Amino acid sequence: MGAAMFYHLTRTPAEGLVPTLIGKSQSAGWRIELRGTDADRMARLDEHLWQGDGFMAHGIAGGPHDARQPVLLTVTGRNGQTAVEAAANDPQCVIAVDGADVEAAECDRLARVCILFDGNDEAAVTHARAQWRALTGAGVAAEYWSEGGGKWERKA
């Protein structure tokens, strides 16, 4: 069972942290699902990964080569609408942004779950707290990371 890492964004937008998390996950030899809730937002992340500081090979779910993608961008629902099925690329790591849900049952097959949430958005904080309670209540090990002091620090 993989651990859930919660990243409380207060200074860095998700676009700033996602490439770092993808790089660390790929260094561990994992395939990644980058999960969001809005197709337009995922299209912007797609552009960012192609044109950001470093080229990151990836694809948007629904293409003919989904199973071969090292990073697959997916769109799911919020509040319990997330499917427990693995993405087509059989990821070992899920990076969830913008309130995309992660179910405890998924953690059984994953090495890592990263949940990024905007600390300046009260609804996002509330949603992240609910995910924390759901995952830890189901026995998933969880860590809370904050950048409040200007650098990432593990808090719990």
Q: Which domain holds residue 63?
A: 3-148
Per-residue pLDDT reduced to its tens digit, 38-47: 989 988 888 8
Comparing 48 with 29, the larger pLDDT belongs to: 29
Per-residue pLDDT reduced to its tens digit, 62-86: 888 889 989 999 998 654 444 556 7
CA distances from 61 to 52, 69, 127, 129, 155 (A): 20, 9, 25, 28, 34
Count structural domains, the chain.
Answer: 1
What's the one-letter identity of residue 86? A
Q: Is residue 140 part of a domain?
A: yes
Highest mean pLDDT among 7-21, 39-53, 96-110, 121-135: 121-135
Q: Is residue 134 part of a domain?
A: yes
Q: Is residue 153 part of a domain?
A: no
Tell me if the pTM is above 0.85.
yes
How far apart CA 54 and CA 57 sit, in angstroms, is 10
The CATH number of the domain where 10 resides is what?
Answer: 3.40.50.10110
How far apart CA 15 and CA 112 sit, in angstroms, is 19
SS3 114: strand
Quickly list DSSP for 21-83: HHHHHHHTT--EEEEES-HHHHHHHHHHHHHSSS----EETTSTTGGG-SEEEEE--SSS---
